[in-house]
Amino acid sequence: MHEIVVIGLVALQLALGYGFVYPKFAGDNQLRLLWLDVLTMVITLGVTGLLYANKNLDFSLIFFDTEWWIFTIAVGAILEVPLYLHYTRKREMKHWNKHGKIYWIEGVTESEVTRALSDTKYNRLRTRRARLVLVSLGLGSVGMMYASAFLGAYGKLSTYLEGIGLLSSLVLYFILRSSVRIVADAPDDLLDERQIAVRNRAYLLSYRTMFFPLFGLLILQMGNLEMTFFADPQVGVIDGGALFIATAMLMAALPSIFVALGDKGEDGIGLDLSAGGNRL
């Protein structure tokens, strides 16, 4: 029953959004549409939160049960795709707006990358030392999320650790991204040949590094340990949701981490992460 209520709320949000709010306030501006969409989703989350937060209800997502907020976001995403495609096609939106091209796969805009590449305002974040601090704190935050998965016995401590770890790793991820001038996420069109080489090398190292956490998860699975996904932490049960989110965060951040370690900062100092040569 509670699933139907959430689906109804999301449907109402989308009907109001695509029927009234977006045509009136976003028109054919992609970026504005995106922000309005985030705003309406936050409002829907607020309403579902008021109804279901701390009620200890499981929401069925067919394959597994989850919490109210994940269910709301998942239903929103599924219902929105056809509406979004219809909206953009009807207006012949070519994913361009006054802020420049949007690179959907990379998740960046042209102006965002161009600005980051020429920016000198945050050069204090681009020294070797600053990058090492950011990388260490970021890895520490991801470590907190991993640790929280095994601390179900400590109840609230586990929840706090996961929450603080998630929040700080998100914040640090965006600062680190800015520190490396978004090189790790930028498309070829906006980088020069050296930056493309640095980015590609970072992805190679990230791919190889991801073997270790994924192997760790495999070992856990082989151990036949009890695991839950996005449910309240319990004694002796591993929080698979926390493991999944921590691994996803690590995967997203690793390319920027390797760019931060390998590319020289504004102070001209960096590690040589190339295969022994004079270039990355």
Partner 1 sequence: MGRKPKTEEPQVLNRIEELRLAKGLSRQELADAAGVHYQTVGYLERGEYSPSLSLALRIARVLGEPIETMFWTVEENSHA
How far apart are CB 116 and partner 1 at their closest, in Å?
Answer: 11
Question: Where does this chain touch partner 1 (CB under 8 A) — which range of 5-13, 55-63, 166-174, 189-197?
Answer: 189-197
Decide: 97 and 29 in contact? Cβ < 8 Å.
Answer: yes
Q: How far is CA 194 from the centre of its chain?
A: 26
Q: Does 268 bind partner 1 (CB under 8 A)?
A: yes
Q: Does 274 bind partner 1 (CB under 8 A)?
A: yes
Among 193, 222, 235, 236, binds partner 1 (CB under 8 A): 193
- Residues with Cβ < 8 Å from 279, sequence gap 6 or more? 194, 197
Question: Where does this chain touch partner 1 (CB under 8 A) — which range of 163-171, 205-213, 236-244, 270-278?
Answer: 270-278
107-126: contacts with partner 1 (CB under 8 A): 117
Q: Does 30 bind partner 1 (CB under 8 A)?
A: no
Among 188, 192, 226, 267, binds partner 1 (CB under 8 A): 192
The CA angle 70-79-50, to the nearest 5 degrees, is 40
Q: Does 148 bind partner 1 (CB under 8 A)?
A: no
Q: Does 82 bind partner 1 (CB under 8 A)?
A: no
Nearer to partner 1, 190 or 253 (CB): 190
Question: Where does this chain touch partner 1 (CB under 8 A) — which range of 191-199, 201-209, 238-246, 247-255?
Answer: 191-199
Nearer to partner 1, 233 or 262 (CB): 262
Give contact residues for partner 1 (rule: CB under 8 A): 117, 191-195, 263-264, 268, 274-280
